[in-house]
Amino acid sequence: MGREIFHFPKVDSTNKIALELGRKGYPEGTIVIAEEQTAGKGRWHRKWHSPPEKSLLFSIILRPQIPPELMPQLTLLAGVSTARAIQLQTGTKVGIKWPNDLIYQGKKLCGILVERAGLTDPCLVLGIGVNVNQEMDDFPPELQDTATSLRMIAGKIIPRVPLLQQIVESLEEDYQEYCRAGFSPIRERWLQYEAVLGKKVRIAMGNNEYCGVVTGLSEDGELVVISPQGEETKFAAGEVTLCREE
């Protein structure tokens, strides 16, 4: 990863550019990095707020030989790799809120988005956005209660380049392991950083909502939840909200 790097001061979306490069045949491991995004997005097409030169905003082209239904596993893999890299580089252990958020004390500091170049195209793009050196005033008012950054956690400025290098190294290690041995070893690493087991959650899927307690992660990466009535359900997708303890 990183043999080819495209670096931009400002783009609409690194995922969009990486998808275009992927369709043109650029090799697996190509990275697109930006200092600022004007139209960055997370899951459910939510805007990703990123003031200039304070975040890590990058996307990586991947060409895994996996069926489309296993694509969500790469989101979990990226969460594991990024959490490991943050701990190695800063000493801070963050949690993973299934499926794609890294959190610290309930506040979000990283989002991950995997997109496919096309229905018949094996190319995927893995987009990662990490809040690194934001201060509270850098977030819009509506996010100040729910977002945080590594600087706010550590109380000091975090060098971004070494952190990026560590994330890419961790990603490459985990991705090679995944391609060689499947999801099982990634699942074991994910469980070391999870922030949802035993917690009461609310899961939104479109207009439907489901409440229950998380009891595990399936062998395929699905979230296992038990309802108040004792019914077990596995979720391959959905938006998870941690319920406040009463």
User: pLDDT of 180-190, one tens digit each?
Assistant: 999 999 999 99
Could you tell me the residue ranges of all domains in the chain?
5-193, 200-242
A 10 A CB-CB count for 126 gives: 23
Structure tokens at 44: 């459910």
Q: What is the mean pLDDT of the chain?
A: 92
Query: Is the pLDDT at 246 greater than 50, yes or no?
Result: no
Question: Which superfamily, per CATH, for 5-193?
Answer: Bira Bifunctional Protein; Domain 2 (3.30.930.10)
Distance CA 70, CA 179 (A): 12
The set of long-range contacts for 155-161, using a CB threshold of 8 Å and a minimum separation of 24, is 157/133, 158/89, 158/90, 158/132, 158/133, 160/56, 160/132, 160/133
Query: Is the pLDDT at 45 greater than 70, yes or no?
Result: no
Q: What is the mean pLDDT of residues 59-85?
A: 95
The phi and psi torsions of 182 (rounded to 5 degrees) equal 85, -165
**CA distances to 64, 77, 119, 166, 186 from 179, in Å:** 7, 11, 21, 20, 11
User: May I ask the CATH class of domain 200-242?
Assistant: mainly beta
- Fold: same for 5-193 and 200-242: no
Is residue 37 a contact partner of residue 13, using CB atoms and an 8 Å limit?
A: yes
